[in-house]
Amino acid sequence: MTSDLVFYKVQGIMDEYSHLADSEVVDKYIEFVSLCRFAGYEDLRTGSSIQKPFPNDLILEIVKQKNPPLKWTANSLEEAVRVEKDFNRILLKHYDRARHSFLAKNG
Query: Could you tell me how many residues make up the chain?
Result: 107
Number of domains in the chain: 1
Establish if 50 belongs to a structural domain.
Answer: no
Domain that holds residue 77: 4-37+69-106
The answer to whether 83 and 32 are in contact (CB under 8 A) is yes
Residues 4-33 have pLDDT tens digits of 777 888 888 888 888 888 888 889 888 888
Answer with the residue of higher pLDDT: 58 or 49.
58
Establish if 43 belongs to a structural domain.
Answer: no
The dihedral over CA atoms of 23, 27, 29, 34, expressed in degrees to the nearest 10, equals 150
Instruction: Tell me the whole-structure pTM to 2 decimals.
Output: 0.63
Residues 71-100 have pLDDT tens digits of 888 788 888 888 888 988 988 898 888 888
H helices of 18-73, in order, are 23-35, 41-46, 56-65
Establish if 46 belongs to a structural domain.
Answer: no
